Amino acid sequence: MKNRTVAFAALAVTALFLSLSPAFAGTSDAAAAAQGIRTDISGGARFAPSYDAYTNILPAWGFDTTVGIEYAMSHWIPLRAELGVFSIGSSAWDASLFRFRAFWGYRLAALTGARLSLGRGELDILVGGAVSASRFTGLNQVTAFASAVGELRYKAPVTLPFFGGLAFDAIAAVPIEYLYRGTARTISVGLDLGVVIKLARGGAK
């Protein structure tokens, strides 16, 4: 229950961040075509069911917050690096009153993929791998594991009319991750929202 409360808080903070941050105003539709190094921050909810050799998939929920930096070329992204924090709650019970433990940790990912124009924005299709350092929540045991990562990311310029026309480049992402966790495997599917952070040289006075 605590994890879900924290997930709510994370979503609320993300929404607030998106709606209030004036630093991201003033971006343009040139974003989709921009080349070079880009940074972003995103966060959202995760559906992260696990299974092992003895039980069917047991659902669990969590959240993540990720900071990304990538080098973008015209039609592809040679390298995207992500550093994130995640938390996955305890799973549902199986019939024998077994469940998978809650865990949280830090995640470092490297991805690469294609960059496509879609509508007013840009669709990135990325694949890669990640390693995570993770603690079983509230316990004395820490582990590290690898995961395979796929990610669909849509970036588009957005203006919020009820915030005085606040404009920024928004991100909606669907990260999919397959976690190799010893005797268990976890499939994590997320829905993240975020913003592109402009590392501008100068700006409006």
Is the Cβ–Cβ distance between 137 and 87 less than 8 Å? yes
Q: Max Cα separation, the chain?
A: 64
Helix (H) or strand (E) holding 56: strand 55-58
With H, G, I as helix, E, B as strand and everything else as coil, classify residue 102.
Answer: coil
Residue 67 Cα to chain centre, angstroms: 8
Q: Which stretch binds another protein (CB under 8 A): 34-42, 49-57, 71-79, 110-118?
A: 49-57
The CB-of-9 to another protein minimum distance in angstroms stands at 10
- Selected range binding another protein among 34-42, 68-76, 98-106, 110-118, rule: CB under 8 A: 98-106
Closest distance to another protein from the beta carbon of 61 (Å):
4
Cβ-Cβ contacts under 8 Å for 36 (sequence gap 6 or more): 71, 72
16 binds another protein (CB under 8 A): no
Our CB check for another protein shows the closer of 15 and 73 to be 15
Smallest separation, CB 35 to another protein (Å):
19
CB of residue 2 to another protein, shortest distance in Å: 7
Query: Is the Cβ of residue 72 or residue 88 nearer to another protein in the bound state?
Result: 88
**Taking the mean position of all CA atoms in its chain, how far away is CA 43?**
5
Residue 24 is a binding residue for another protein (CB under 8 A): no
Q: How far is the CB of 133 from another protein (least distance, A)?
A: 3
Q: Which is nearer to another protein, 69 or 189 (CB)?
A: 189
What is the Cα–Cα distance from 123 to 126, expressed in whole angstroms?
A: 10
The residues facing 87 across adjacent strands are 63, 104
Asked if residue 151 lies in contact with residue 175, where contact means CB atoms within 8 angstroms, the answer is yes
Positions in 130-189 near another protein (CB under 8 A): 131, 133-136, 138-146, 156-161, 165, 167, 170, 172, 180-185
